[in-house]
Amino acid sequence: MKKFNFVETSIKGVYIIEPTVFQDERGYFMETYHKKDFEENGLNMDFVQDNQSKSSKGVLRGLHFQYTQPQGKLVRVMKGEVFDVAVDLRKKSATYGKYESVILSEENKKQFYIPPGFAHGFLVLSDEAEFTYKCTDFYNGQDEGGIIWNDSKIGIEWPLKEDEIILSEKDTMWKSLKDTATDF
């Protein structure tokens, strides 16, 4: 039996990953990562850091990236529900400036793989959400960049109204993709 279903998205390198869930009256069990299975499906990465956050409804974190130490991220929701987004920052890509999105939740147990060279962000849709992710490079605060969440050229269709969205001060200061120098 397959442990994962790897769903290719409209953007090369971005995957929705559906784990096989074994469920009975006691609860459930699933693998969230298996190096060999991922490699057999073209996802050859080494993870070096795991992160977890808890956020309230309406919190939007993103759109973040690192300039010289870009991170690939395997993200999932342990509790609640989020709208997760990856924006292609690879200038030579046919999908530069395009985005892919997915609903991640504790119910659907889907994961989202975002390769290096992308901006990433998520919006909490449930009362609260616990979000976890594996990274292919270490976080470096001095290397962090971002794109403003409502860049009209990217055109992300966020599922909450603007007055329902809660941003950190930092996330209100990012510029548009057009005005952000990236070298991916």
Catalytic residues, which ones? 64, 133
Distance CA 162, CA 58 (A): 9
Distance CA 81, CA 128 (A): 8
Q: Which of 68, 92, 160 is nearest to 121 (CA)?
A: 160
Q: Which of 75, 74, 73, 76 is nearest to 109 (CA)?
A: 76
Q: Which residues contact 114 (CB under 8 A, 6 or more apart)?
A: 14, 72, 73, 75, 86, 120
Distance CA 166, CA 46 (A): 33
